[in-house]
Amino acid sequence: MPKHAIFSMTFCLLIPVLLTAQAIDNTVSYRDIPGNKYFRINYENDFFTASDRDYTQGVLIEKVHPVFNRFPLMKILWHPVGSDYKYGLAIEHNAYTPNQIDQYAIQYGDRPYAGVLLFKTFLIASDFGRKRRISVSFSTGLIGPGAGGEQIQRTIHHWIKYTQPEGWHNQIRNDLVVNYQIDIEKEIVQYRNHFSLSAIGSGRIGTLSDKLSAGFTTAVGNFRPFFNAPAFVNRHFQWYVYGQLMGNAVGYDATLQGGLFNHSSVYTIQNGDLNRFTLQNKFGIVFILHSFYIEYYRTGLTEEFKTSIYHRTGGLQIGFGF
């Protein structure tokens, strides 16, 4: 059986199992894996930064393959003309908790418990002549107990012999997630194979999150230029460190405010307490050997609502091409 057929069947099997966020950014240029066929796993957890609160964990499993251009949901994605395309499918799971996870009662003034499960259809459109990269994604899924946030966190904490969470019965209630997102990156400066500076803008709309973002990304090391055609240079080994600063204008966040259709959540953050502007910084190191990819990174996010705090997470990505 072809590998892409096996992967498609895996998606169909995993969805009902996981059903008993859109936080992980997998399509940006500094996370590019050579070729148009690859598989990658991304794991984020604030345990890397010695905390266990707010956005506490995220997992994304993705596969990119040309055959996915025939996937029905690809038809609703914007296809920028004059571009080379990569087509992908992914499953993403995110979990959010307050500070004191050993408390049974609602922790007013802190973040609500929330679990999010998404099925993500995406494409990456690279216009090498214009030094531009556009990523478009459509996510469908569920926020609430059906996403399995409690079960996953309890299992992981059992494995690492850590405090068991006691407040998941207060989590955001079940609701539908439908989100559409467009990211646009534009190269500003590229110096040989050692330095890159680019601008990025992003827009997201839907029932999970409404947000506009803009910022800059820089990378230093020895790498294939992100906005050049793949045939421009073939480097067997690449490495680089990167940094990114983003400003976010937030309209709506279901993980804080509850779902758009189901208003039965026992505790949410009120609309007036939301911080409408946040800053996010990210830095990491990447190694690529042929088509094997590994990355470690840290992310920081300023206060999302009036009584929250600056929050940090760490992450690890491992991928390989075919």
* Domain locations in the chain as residue ranges: 3-321
> Is the pTM value of this prediction over 0.85?
yes
For 152-185, what is each residue's pLDDT tens digit?
Answer: 899 988 898 888 999 999 999 999 999 999 999 9
Question: What is the topology classification, in CATH, of domain 3-321?
Answer: Lipocalin (2.40.128)
For 300, counting Cβ atoms within 10 Å of its Cβ (0-12 exposed, 13-18 middle, 19+ buried), the class is middle
* pLDDT range class, residue 51, cuts 50, 70, 90: low
Give pLDDT, residue 145. 97
Residue type, 205: I
DSSP E strand stretches across the chain: 38-45, 54-64, 84-97, 114-127, 132-143, 175-191, 195-206, 209-222, 237-253, 277-289, 292-301, 311-321
Query: Within its chain, how far is the Cα of 61 from the centroid?
Result: 10
Give the C-alpha separation, 187 to 190, whole Å: 7
* pLDDT tens column, 272-295: 999 999 999 999 999 999 889 999
DSSP count for the chain of H helices, then E strands: 3, 12
Angstrom distance (rounded) from CA 289 to CA 268: 45
293 versus 21: the higher-pLDDT residue is 293
- pLDDT reported for residue 322: 83
Give the confidence band of 311 by pLDDT, cuts at 50, 70, 90: confident
Residue 302: closest CA among 275, 284, 321: 275
Encode pLDDT of 110-153 as tens digits. 999 999 999 999 999 999 999 999 999 999 999 999 999 999 89
For residue 226, what is the DSSP state? T
Q: Express each pLDDT in 198-231 by its tens digit.
A: 999 999 999 999 999 999 999 999 999 999 987 5
Helix or strand or coil: residue 29? Answer: helix
CA atoms within 13 A on the CB side of 217: 23
DSSP state of 273: G
Q: How far apart are CA 251 and CA 268, in angstroms?
A: 15
What confidence category does residue 268 fall into, taking pLDDT thresholds of 50, 70 and 90? very high
